[in-house]
Chains A and B, each alone.
Chain A
Amino acid sequence: MTSMSWRHGMHISAVLALLGVAAFPIYWMLVTSLTSSAETFADVPRLVPDLSQLPIYNAVFSTTQIGVWLVNSAIVAAGTTVLSIALAILPAYALSRLQFRGKGLLGLCLFASQMLPEVMLVVPLYAIFVTLGLLDTLLGLILVNSAFTVPVVIWILKGAIDSVPVELEEAARVDGCSRIEILLLIVAPLIAPTIAAASVIAFFHGWNEYVFALTFVSSEGLRTASVGLAGFVGELITPIETVMAVGIIYTLPAITFYLVAQRYVVAGMTSGAIKG
């Protein structure tokens, strides 16, 4: 009994330590944003937020463009999500259910695309953007971000479709449904948790993306939050509390969104996403 509770105590402390490590940098961002300049440079650090500094969160909305940046990031992230799922669901189904020549090659290419660094493709993509008139548009960012998420999403969706019993489809086939109807009406609802999981991944990619947003968008009104935040680096004097406040405003929606969607992510992964 004692050994049981001792073990239990160890376990609880280990979990708490882990949670501390995971949450601390975000907590520290919050503390730094809510510390007065004088205390920021004190010899003894302030370990808890100074709530009297809260008005800074009001102030940064007027001193920076963070409001606009967030809206842009949200548009890019949402667009990336929708486009990625739309482009990925058909090939995922084909890879899972249909036999065709070049299937192996397609799988290989999808995997290989995970190896391409964004910074390498910036220059050739710029030329393509000029040709298509996509420069300085959020649509352009959505299109290029999706190119990086589609393979992952295909991969995840394929895993989920693999685990849907084929018999369900055969019954529908007998009823005269086309493949596309089967996919949309029968398979898609069954793998809804996985679609949600893949959506979260695509959304984060769009929300976080930095290199393309930096190069392809120049209008201030179209800047995303990642670029806006990184733009503080190298300015003459930017108070660290402002940078951290903007950082928190940019980070918290992502974390909140994740915590809300987290059930689906885990469910999605469990339902056969990455089974090896």
Chain B
Amino acid sequence: MNAYFRRFSVGALLVAATLTISSTMHSFAAEKEVITFAASPFSSARGPQLQEWVKKFNDSQENIEVTPIAIPFASFANTMFTQMGGKGGPDLVRFDLYDFYPAVAANLIMPIDGIIKDEANLRPVDKYLKVDGKRYGIAFEISNYALIYNKALLKDGKVPTNFAEFIASAKAASGDGVYGFAYRATMAESGGFWQDVCNFVYGFGGRWSDDSGKLTLNSPQVVAGIAAYKQVYDLDVTPKGADAATFRRMFSQGKVAMEIDNSAVMASLMVKGPDLPIEVARSPFPTDAQGFVLSPITVNANTKHKEAALAFLKWMMLPENQRALETAYGGSSFVATPIAYTEEELAKRPWLKVYDSDKAVSIPQLVTGHEIKTPEIQRIILEQVVKVLQTDLDPQAAMDEAQKMAESRVLAK
């Protein structure tokens, strides 16, 4: 055998050995049964508190250990889908509702009926986690929308209660480097843009589809919502093109007077700008309907640790652990079961009352009846909205076109 050939075989052996070592290394470490739990908030500012909460579970168990996996929000769903579609992935996954339905449809997550004893005790939005009568997830985080405002920047400190007042307040607050309102209007942030559009449309009584699943993208109420979006855009009261991270930062610097956002944003604003008179009120739209964020925890259908995963879910649903989870959120979100707060806690986080209002009507930020096709319909809608904002295209004409395109391109397939 000649010299270089030998050298190759040594090289090949080395590579093979490295491969083997790297793949077996994981299996040595475990005495407890280790399961993984992927969720995007683990990598956010709230990450440490949530990890601490998971640790409580680990401390309480003799045989199971949960390892949190932090994946940034922006790449979370695709990373999960690629991994789960490839027959791998973490044992427990926190999805957003937007990605939950496609995952159910593709059998990537398993039904988990029988985990919850008393379903009547759950928050009403729990109904969205059942598909064809089977439960596929438990709410891990719920977050509603409301108008967040900086009292010092509003005329007489008065919060607008209807849309006309809102327009007036936004105009009055603008100028001198201050913007009356901030929202998203760029495709580069299509996820957040969609949430903002949903709030306007739902607030004006619009829905993307009716109960039978027929698209209603050009209904008068939807068009009214889009027209309102455009009206705000044309007022020049918004920092155009600023992304959400920037305008929230501006808000905490007293440069933005109002925005409509969820309780998670509110809580982080309170951390970043604690000196500002930030308060929350009902969104200034004709109706009480708004979008909401619901992120269920689910069990990966590929898991080899089903029982351990279910044990974690059962632990999570114990009242004291539900409370501990909501505390870990620091007022940014609600959990599956309603938590009774003391007066003292409410005084510390007064916004919770507004976000948890009895009157709130929470509508998923999805095209109901076409949950799986939502990404495509969403893009069609948003592109039409961009055209309305950027050109003088009439909202009715734009949404007629959106309806036509969605029916012919997406639903016909």
B231 at the interface (CB under 8 A from A): no
* CB–CB B2/A130 < 8 A: no
When the two chains form their complex, are residues B79 and A218 in contact, meaning their CB atoms are under 8 A apart? Answer: yes
Whole-angstrom CA separation of A129 from B87 in the bound complex: 11
Known interface pairs A180-B4, A231-B43, A235-B73. Does A38 touch B245 (Cβ–Cβ under 8 Å)?
no
| A220 and B252 alpha carbons, distance in the complex (Å) | 29
Q: Are B177 and A42 in contact (CB under 8 A)?
A: yes
- The CA of A38 and the CA of B275, in the complex, are separated in Å by 14
Q: Which residues of A contact B22 (CB under 8 A)?
A: 133-134, 137, 139
| B38: chain A residues within 8 A (beta carbon) | 218
What string of 1s and 0s marks CB contacts (under 8 Å) between A213-231 and chain B?
0110011100000010011
Q: Are B23 and A235 in contact (CB under 8 A)?
A: no
A41-B250, A218-B71, A218-B83 given as contacts; is B268 within 8 A of A236 (CB)?
yes
B177 touches A41 (CB 8 A): yes
Stretch at the interface among A14-22, A165-173, A237-245, A251-259: A237-245
Interface string of B36-57 (1 = CB under 8 A from A): 0010001111000000000000
Tell me if A214 and B75 are in contact (CB < 8 A): yes
- A218 and B82: CB pair below 8 A? no
Q: Say whether A139 contacts B253, CB under 8 Å.
A: no
Number of interface residues of A (CB under 8 A): 41
Q: Which of B58-80 contact A (CB under 8 A)?
A: 69-75, 78-79
Q: How far is the CA of A178 from the CA of B5 in the complex (A)?
A: 12
- Beta-carbon contact of B269 and A237 below 8 Å: yes
Q: Which chain B residue lies CB-closest to A238?
A: B245
Tell me which of B3, B4, B249 contacts A237 (CB under 8 A): B249
B230 smallest CB distance to A (angstroms): 25
Candidates B69, B78, B245; contact of A236 at CB < 8 Å? B245
Contacts of A220 in B (CB 8 A): 42-43, 69-70
| A133 and B23 in contact, given A38-B253, A139-B18, A234-B191 (Cβ under 8 angstroms) | yes
**Which residues of chain A come closer than 8 Å to B78, judged between CB atoms?**
215
Nearest opposing residue in chain B for A38, CB measure: B253
- Residue of B2, B3, B255 near A41 (CB, 8 A) is B255
Measured between alpha carbons, how far is A126 from B87 in the docked complex, in Å?
10
Chain A residues within 8 Å of B192, by CB = 234
Chain A residue numbers with a CB within 8 Å of B404 are: none
Chain A residues whose CB sits within 8 angstroms of the CB of B272 once the complex forms: 237
Given known contacts A218-B69, A234-B72, A237-B268, A178 and B19 CB-to-CB distance under 8 angstroms: no
Determine whether the beta carbon of A134 is less than 8 Å from that of B249. Answer: no
Contact B249 A130 (CB under 8 A): no
Shortest CB-to-CB span from B283 to chain A, Å, is 19
- Given that A234-B74, A237-B268 are contacting pairs, would A41 and B253 also be in contact in the complex, using a CB cutoff of 8 Å? yes
Interface size class of B (residues with CB under 8 A): 35 or more
Residue numbers in B under 8 Å from A181 (CB-CB): 3
Is residue A175 contacting chain B, with contact meaning CB distance below 8 A? no
Contact call A134/B45, Cβ cutoff below 8 A? no
Chain B residues near A232 (CB-CB < 8 A): 72, 245
- Given A41-B177, A133-B23, A220-B43, check contact A235 B86 (CB 8 Å): no
Task: Check A130–B72 contact: CB distance below 8 A.
Answer: no
A236/B248 contact (C-beta < 8 A), A41-B253, A215-B79, A231-B72 known: yes
A178, A179, A218, A227, most chain B CB atoms within 10 A: A218
In the complex, the answer to whether B83 meets A235 with C-beta atoms within 8 Å is no
Q: How far is the CB of B137 from chain A (nearest CB, A)?
A: 20
Closest to B272 in A: A237
The smallest C-beta distance from A120 to any residue of chain B, in angstroms, reads 13
In the complex, A135 has a CB within 8 A of chain B: yes
Q: CA A33 – CA B310 in complex, angstroms? A: 45
CA distance A222 to B373 in the complex (A): 34
A residues near B82, Cβ cutoff 8 Å: 122-123, 126, 215
| The residue from A178, A236, A238 contacting B264, defined by CB atoms under 8 A apart | A236
Is B250 within 8 A of A236, CB to CB?
Answer: no
Asked whether A231 lies within 8 Å of B74 as measured between CB atoms, the reply is: yes
Within 8 A of B (CB), among A75-130: 86, 90, 122-123, 126-127, 129-130
B88 at the interface (CB under 8 A from A): yes
CA distance A123 to B78 in the complex (A): 11
A51 at the interface (CB under 8 A from B): no
Least CB separation from A179: chain B residue: B4
Interface string of A170-194 (1 = CB under 8 A from B): 0000000011110000000000000
Q: Which residue of B lies closest to A139 (CB)?
A: B22
In the bound complex, CA of A230 to CA of B87 (Å):
26
Chain B min CB distance to A33 (Å): 14
Complex CA–CA separation, A227 to B70 (angstroms)? 12
Given A214-B79, A220-B43, A236-B265: A180 touches B3 (CB 8 Å cut-off): yes
Bound form: Cα–Cα A234–B90 in Å: 22
B162 within 8 A of A: no
Contact B86 A134 (CB under 8 A): no
Could you write out 20 A-B pairs with CB less than 8 Å apart? A41-B177, A43-B177, A86-B11, A122-B82, A123-B82, A135-B88, A139-B18, A214-B79, A218-B71, A218-B79, A227-B75, A230-B74, A231-B75, A233-B74, A234-B72, A234-B73, A234-B74, A234-B191, A237-B265, A240-B246
Told that A220-B69, A233-B245 touch, could you supply 16 new A-B pairs with CB distance under 8 A? A37-B249, A86-B11, A90-B4, A122-B82, A130-B86, A132-B19, A134-B19, A137-B22, A215-B82, A230-B72, A231-B72, A232-B72, A236-B268, A237-B248, A237-B252, A237-B265
- Interface residues of chain A, those whose CB is within 8 Å of chain B, are 37-38, 40-43, 86, 90, 122-123, 126-127, 129-130, 132-135, 137, 139, 178-181, 214-215, 218-220, 227, 230-240
List of 4 A-B pairs having minimum Cβ-Cβ separation, nearest first: A231-B72, A133-B23, A234-B74, A180-B4
Interface residues in chain B, defined as those with a beta carbon under 8 Å from any beta carbon in chain A: 2-4, 7, 11, 18-19, 22-23, 38, 42-45, 69-75, 78-79, 82-83, 86-88, 90, 177, 189, 191-192, 243-246, 248-250, 252-253, 255, 264-265, 268-269, 272
